[in-house]
Chains A and B, each alone.
Chain A
Amino acid sequence: MITKKTPKIRKRAQAWLLDFLIATVIASTVFALVFLSFPFSGEDSEAVRLQRSLGMLSSSVISEGQPENWNRNNFLIPGILSDGALDPSKFIELSHLSDFQLRESLGIYPDVFYCIFLKKHEVIIIDNILFIGSENCFQDEMHTDSLVETRIVSNGTELISVVFKVWRE
Chain B
Amino acid sequence: MKGRQLRKGKKGFYFTLDAILAALILLSFFIFSSSLWLSQRTTPPRSSLLSFDILTSLDKIYVSDSSNALVQQLITDGNITRLHNTLLEQIIEFWAFGKRDLSRELFINVTYPFLEFDDFRLVIGDAVILDTIPDEHFSITGSSRILSGITENRSKFGYMARAIATKMAKNTTKIIKGDVIYSSVRRPRAGNNQNSVYITYYFDIPKNSTLYNAKWFVQAAYTDNWFQAFVNGQYIPGSAGSDPSGSKSFEGLESYLVEGRNTATLHFRFGGRGALGGDDGSSHFKIQYYSPEAGITSSFTDFNFAEVKSECPIRYKKPVYIMGDLNYLNLSIYSNVNTVSLSITFEGQDYFLEQKENIDGKVTWSNVELTSLLGTLGLDFSDLSNKYVYFNIDLDEFVEACVKDYERVLEPESKIYLRTDRTSLVYGKIDITREMNVKSYSDSHTGDFYRDITWNFSTSEATTPLLVDCQLAWLYFLGSSAEQAVYSNSDLLYSHPPQNFILEFARYAYTPYETDFLLGENIFRTKTTGSYAFNPFSSLCAYTFFIDNSVSYGDVFQTQAEAEEDAIERLNEVLGSYADALQIGKQVIGLGDVLSLWGPTKIELVIAK
Q: Do A and B come from one complex?
A: yes
Distance A157 CA – B56 CA, assembled complex (angstroms): 14
Q: Given A19-B15, A149-B43, are A33 and B30 also a contact pair (CB < 8 Å)?
A: yes
Scan A9-48; emit 1 where CB is below 8 A from any B CB, else 0: 0000001000100110011001001100111000000000
A135 within 8 A of B: no
Q: Which residues of B are found within 8 Å of A27, using beta-carbon distances?
A: 26
A101 within 8 A of B: no
A156 within 8 A of B: yes
Residues 51-108 of A contacting B (Cβ, < 8 Å): 51-52, 54-55, 58, 83-85
Distance A149 CA – B67 CA, assembled complex (angstroms): 26
In the bound complex, do residue B37 and residue A23 qualify as a contact, i.e. CB atoms below 8 Å apart?
Answer: no
Distance A161 CA – B15 CA, assembled complex (angstroms): 60
Distance A128 CA – B66 CA, assembled complex (angstroms): 24
Q: Given A84-B60, A85-B57, A121-B113, are A152 and B67 also a contact pair (CB < 8 Å)?
A: no
In the bound complex, do residue A156 and residue B60 qualify as a contact, i.e. CB atoms below 8 Å apart?
Answer: yes
A153 within 8 A of B: yes
Q: Which of A34, A52, A154 contacts B57 (CB 8 A)?
A: A154
Distance A51 CA – B41 CA, assembled complex (angstroms): 9
Distance A55 CA – B22 CA, assembled complex (angstroms): 36
Scan B84-107; emit 1 where CB is below 8 A from any A CB, else 0: 000000000000000000000000
What is the distance, in angstroms, from B1's C-beta to the closest C-beta of chain A?
13
SS of B interface (majority):
helix
A159 within 8 A of B: yes
Q: Given A26-B26, A38-B37, are A158 and B43 also a contact pair (CB < 8 Å)?
A: no
Residues 124-169 of A contacting B (Cβ, < 8 Å): 149-154, 156-159, 161
In the bound complex, do residue B54 and residue A159 qualify as a contact, i.e. CB atoms below 8 Å apart?
Answer: yes
Q: Which residues of A are found within 8 Å of B46, using beta-carbon distances?
A: 149-150
Distance A124 CA – B378 CA, assembled complex (angstroms): 37
Distance A58 CA – B60 CA, assembled complex (angstroms): 20
In the bound complex, do residue A39 and residue B30 qualify as a contact, i.e. CB atoms below 8 Å apart?
Answer: no
B19 within 8 A of A: yes
Interface range for B: 35 or more
Residues 9-51 of B contacting A (Cβ, < 8 Å): 12, 15-16, 19, 22-23, 26-27, 29-30, 33-34, 37-38, 41-43, 46, 49-50
What is the distance, in angstroms, from B513's C-beta to the closest C-beta of chain A?
20
Scan B316-347; emit 1 where CB is below 8 A from any A CB, else 0: 00000000000000000000000000000000
Q: Which residues of B are found within 8 Å of A159, using beta-carbon distances?
A: 54, 57-58, 61, 110-111, 114
Q: Which of A19, A54, A154 contacts B43 (CB 8 A)?
A: A54
Distance A101 CA – B57 CA, assembled complex (angstroms): 28
In the bound complex, do residue A154 and residue B58 qualify as a contact, i.e. CB atoms below 8 Å apart?
Answer: yes
Q: Which residues of B are found within 8 Å of A154, using beta-carbon distances?
A: 56-58, 60-61
Q: Which of B12, B26, B65 contacts A15 (CB 8 A)?
A: B12
Number of A-B contacts (CB under 8 A): 88
Instruction: List the A residue with the shortest CB-CB distance to B56.
Output: A84
What is the distance, in angstroms, from A152's C-beta to the closest C-beta of chain B?
4
Instruction: List the B residue with the shortest CB-CB distance to A33.
Output: B30
Q: Which residues of A are found within 8 Å of B19, using beta-carbon distances?
A: 19, 22-23, 26
What is the distance, in angstroms, from B6's C-beta to the closest C-beta of chain A?
15
In the bound complex, do residue A158 and residue B42 qualify as a contact, i.e. CB atoms below 8 Å apart?
Answer: no
In the bound complex, do residue A157 and residue B65 qualify as a contact, i.e. CB atoms below 8 Å apart?
Answer: yes
In the bound complex, do residue B66 and residue A152 qualify as a contact, i.e. CB atoms below 8 Å apart?
Answer: no
In the bound complex, do residue B110 and residue A33 qualify as a contact, i.e. CB atoms below 8 Å apart?
Answer: no
Q: Given A149-B46, A159-B54, are A39 and B37 also a contact pair (CB < 8 Å)?
A: yes
Distance A38 CA – B30 CA, assembled complex (angstroms): 11
Residues 173-231 of B contacting A (Cβ, < 8 Å): none
Q: Given A30-B30, A149-B43, are A157 and B61 also a contact pair (CB < 8 Å)?
A: yes
In the bound complex, do residue A37 and residue B38 qualify as a contact, i.e. CB atoms below 8 Å apart?
Answer: yes
Distance A161 CA – B68 CA, assembled complex (angstroms): 16
Instruction: List the B residue with the shortest CB-CB distance to A8.
Output: B8
Q: Which residues of A are found within 8 Å of B302, using beta-carbon distances?
A: none
Distance A34 CA – B22 CA, assembled complex (angstroms): 16
Question: Interface centre among B22, B29, B57, B68, by most A CB within 10 Å?
Answer: B57
What is the distance, in angstroms, from B52's C-beta to the closest C-beta of chain A?
9
Distance A159 CA – B71 CA, assembled complex (angstroms): 13
Instruction: List the A residue with the shortest CB-CB distance to B60.
Output: A154
Q: Which residues of A are found within 8 Å of B504, using beta-carbon distances?
A: none
Q: Which residues of B are found within 8 Å of A120, using beta-carbon distances?
A: 113
What is the distance, in angstroms, from A10's C-beta to the closest C-beta of chain B?
14
Question: Interface centre among A26, A153, A154, by most B CB within 10 Å?
Answer: A154
What is the distance, in angstroms, from A17's C-beta to the closest C-beta of chain B?
12
Q: Given A26-B26, A84-B60, A152-B50, are A34 and B67 also a contact pair (CB < 8 Å)?
A: no
B251 within 8 A of A: no
Q: Given A55-B41, A84-B56, A152-B50, are A34 and B30 also a contact pair (CB < 8 Å)?
A: yes
Give 29 CB contacts A-B under 8 Å.
Answer: A19-B19, A26-B19, A26-B26, A30-B27, A30-B29, A30-B30, A34-B33, A37-B37, A37-B38, A39-B41, A54-B43, A55-B43, A120-B113, A149-B46, A149-B49, A152-B57, A153-B57, A154-B60, A154-B61, A156-B61, A156-B65, A157-B65, A157-B68, A158-B66, A158-B67, A158-B68, A159-B61, A159-B111, A159-B114
Beyond the given A33-B30, A51-B43, A52-B41, please list 6 additional residue pairs across the A-B interface where CB-CB is below 8 A: A19-B16, A55-B42, A151-B53, A156-B61, A158-B66, A159-B114
Chain A residues within 8 Å of B, Cβ to Cβ: 15, 19, 22-23, 26-27, 30, 33-34, 37-39, 51-52, 54-55, 58, 83-85, 120-121, 149-154, 156-159, 161
